[in-house]
Structure 1
Amino acid sequence: MPPLTIAITIGDPSGIGPEVVAKALTDPSLVSAANWIVVGDAEALNAASPGWTSPASTVSVDDLAQLAGHDLEIGRLSPDSGRAALAYIRHATQLCLDGRAQAMVTAPVNKEAVTLTGATFTGHTEYIAELCHVDAPRMLLVNDRLRVLHVTTHIALREACGISSDAVLRTIEIGDDALERLGLDQRRIAVCGLNPHAGEHGLFGSEDAEIIAPAVETARSSGIEVTGPLPADTLFVQALRGAYDLVVPIYHDQGHIPMKLLDFEHTVNVSLGLPIVRTSVDHGTAFDIAGQNKADPSSMKAAMKLAVQLAARV
């Protein structure tokens, strides 16, 4: 099998993305695991890691020169950096769609910086889905202790409360397929309730019984090993103790909070429902420490490692 080629974006060049990419690429085990194409501006890489050069023949840089004629403002919100970050995403996505890369790994972008450019942007996952002409992608968070796959992500909580049975069912189906791709022998899925105590038999809302439960039953009847809706406050404890292989939270914070509490440094974001493999760090641009050589590359390294594993299974 030919060596895998994986694209890595540097994210918002004003943030810690260039630094964590440069640091991750000093790991010999990662450098040798694939051919890596760093997508970004060489200027930003050199600003983050003075004197940075490719550490091996397996690492190349697609210098898009998006910052040419602009001042790189490290640690500050900048529309120029937001515009550059979008260009990096588009380029890496196209590499994957064209078959020149088998996966992409993304460093963090800043939604506010992108919005300053006039673009409508709710997140990496949704933007890449738009580039791939795909509706309703899903966000999977993975670490060594837990996996969660959200029904909804970057929308207002009041909108998340308006979920449909079809959305819940599709998430369960995507999750079952993802567990198989991850090589798990068991694929036990549990779905969170939306309301406290999963509605307590209708005392705290009807969504759990009327929307979530029918989706779970339909998935179960198709052969998927799934249960729910279950109270979220105890479900995550049960999953940590080995009862389930995947938890399906209904909204963003219901899944993100436990994952970041468990292992903030090593949690990886995986986009599902796309025609390409995409993994990402699960942290932000951290402007407060950008340019100070304080950024921890652990999440980037974990994202790169998982991208290799997933791309090898496609």
Structure 2
Amino acid sequence: MNPRPLLLTQGDPAGIGPELTLRAWLQREDAALPPFALLSDPAHIARVAQSYGWSVPIAPVEPSQIEAVFSNALPVIPLNSRVLAEPGQPHAAGAPSVIESIERAVSLVQSGSVAAVVTNPIAKHVLYDAGFRHPGHTEFLAALASEGTGETYHPVMMLWSEALAVVPVTVHIALADVPAALTTDLIVLTGRIVARELRERFGIAKPRLAVAGLNPHAGENGAMGTEDARIIAPAIEILRQDGIEISGPLPADTMFHARARSRYDAALAMYHDQALIPIKTIAFDEAVNVTLGLPFVRTSPDHGTAFDIAGKGVARPDSLIAALKLAARLSAETPSP
């Protein structure tokens, strides 16, 4: 395994991210977690620990000190921004620390100081209120990765678990806008990225992809829509000519039972809920959000900020723990910068 530690971003400080981070560190031995550090305000994370009555020593560190202190204290790389958030009370005043944490994380992973980035959940509407102009977290990471390199990255969201891995080809757009946004080129680009990273990061020598149709029964030969034949089928043929083992377009309602899942390594869905409903049904607490197509490993829990339960001490760290473990596994497969 790559010996470099992992880096955990702060996320929205009013959400459940601080609690999950503390719980993950408390379970570090039982869960066999790799060393990680949090990018945040040490005073804030200490206040959160104290509010729960948890004995978690907080150690402000430089990246080179993470492994040395991890067994005895939660390493925190201090931000320049002070954090005064209250659990469950999101406010635009917290946005600078959220943005700084993400920017610092990308800088540190690209410099090779850490092995991978694991991101705590953010609330986009809070950042928008503070003037944030990127469509979302992932797009911001891709823009940061591109700065000064001349490269353009197309990030792909995969929700991964041991039981199922799914990729929505279109993501955070209205359902009514999906048919217009869905193109053969987009499906081909997405499929190539998924196949490449299943080989290079997940160590699957010959990845098998399954592609869902857009319409019921994958269009029923045009009786229920023509997109499956006009847009999706040609993309599958191009990917097949690339040498990728791929099937589809398949009726989405029969793709996700256990016998069907045994026939592929990842499923490409045409829109957000077509992908996320099955994996959140099958692996709600264990699924991990993995961003493919970036020059570094990034994982995240597959849930949001959960402001409604922040501060109540009931948030489960299972998905964050799974995200940390998967980040360690994937970065071990990825050559150092």
- The percent identity for this pair of structures is 41
Equivalence for 1:190: 210
* Whole-angstrom CA distance in 2 between matches of 1:43 and 1:98: 27
Give yes or no for contact 2:164–2:261 (8 Å, CA) kept in 1: no
Q: Give the drift of 1:287.
A: 0.9
* Residue-by-residue CA offset, 1:138-190 (whole Å, 9 max, x unaligned): 00111121001121212222332221111101111111122222123552210
**C-alpha distance in 1 between matches for 2:183 and 2:204:** 28
Q: CA deviation at 1:240?
A: 5.1
CA distance in 2, matches of 1:33, 1:260: 23
**Which residue identity is paired with 1:247?**
A
Amino acid at match of 2:292: L
User: 1:4, 1:312 within 8 Å by CA — same for their partners in 2?
Assistant: no
Give the CA deviation at 1:203: 1.4
Change (3 A) 1:29 1:94: same
Residue 76 of structure 1 pairs with residue 93 of structure 2: no
Asked if structure 2 preserves the Cα contact closer than 8 Å seen for 1:146 and 1:239, the reply is: no
Structure 1 counterpart SS, 2:157 = strand
Counterpart pick for 2:56 among 40, 47, 52: 52
The one-letter code sitting in structure 1 at the alignment partner of 2:264 is Y
1:7 maps to amino acid: L
Specify which of 263, 287, 293 is matched with residue 243 of structure 1: 263
For structure 2, the 5+ residue unaligned runs are 60-67, 147-151
Q: CA deviation at 1:131?
A: 1.1
Determine whether 1:286 maps to 2:299. no
| Structure 1: stretches of 5+ with no match in the other structure | none
Q: Which deviates more, 203-212 or 58-67?
A: 58-67
Partner residue in 2 for 1:175 = 194
Q: Which residue of 1 aligns with 2:252?
A: 232
Code of the residue aligned with 1:57 in structure 2: it is V
- Change in Cα spacing, 1:14 to 1:65, as seen in structure 2 (3 Å) is farther
For 1:142, the equivalent position in structure 2 comes to 160
Say whether residues 1:15 and 2:28 are aligned partners.
no
- 1:3 and 1:279, CA in 2 relative to 1: closer, same or farther beyond 3 A? same
Aligned AA for 2:145?
A: C
1:161 matched to 2:173? The reply is no
Report how far residue 252 of structure 1 moved: 1.0
Closer, same or farther in 2 for the Cα pair 1:89/1:31, shift >3 Å? farther
Q: State the aligned residue count.
A: 312
The 5 A counterparts of 1:27-176 are 27-29=27-29, 34-50=34-50, 52-54=56-58, 57-58=69-70, 60-67=75-82, 71-133=84-146, 134-162=152-180, 163-176=182-195
Distance in 2 (alpha carbons) for counterparts of 1:120 and 1:209: 36
- 1:216 alignment partner, one of 232, 236, 247: 236
CA gap 1:147/1:241 in 2 versus in 1, 3 angstroms: closer
State the distance in 2 between where 1:124 and 1:131 align: 11
Instruction: Give the TM-score taking structure 1 as reference length.
Output: 0.93
Query: CA contact under 8 A between 1:198 and 1:229: conserved in structure 2?
Result: yes
- After superposition, give the CA deviation of every residue in 1:108-153 in whole Å (9 maximum; x if it has no partner): 1011111111212432211111111234310011112100112121
Question: Given that residues 2 and 332 in structure 2 are in contact (C-alpha distance below 8 angstroms), is that contact kept between their aligned partners in structure 1?
Answer: no
Q: How far did residue 195 of structure 1 move? A: 1.3
- The DSSP-based 3-state class of the residue aligned with 1:39 is strand
* 1:277, distance to aligned residue in structure 2 (A): 0.5
Q: CA RMSD in A?
A: 2.1
Q: For 2:329, which of 304, 309, 312 is the aligned residue?
A: 309
Q: SS at 1:25's partner residue?
A: helix
**Which 4+ residue blocks in structure 1 deviate beyond 6 angstroms?**
none
Give the distance between the partners of 2:160 and 2:216, measured in 1 at CA.
25
- Which piece of structure 1 moves more, 45-54 or 135-144? 45-54
Q: TM-score, normalised by structure 2?
A: 0.87
How far apart are residue 298 of structure 1 and its match?
0.5
Shift of 1:241: 4.5
Which has the larger displacement, 293-302 or 45-54? Answer: 45-54
Of 276-285 and 130-139, deviating more is 130-139
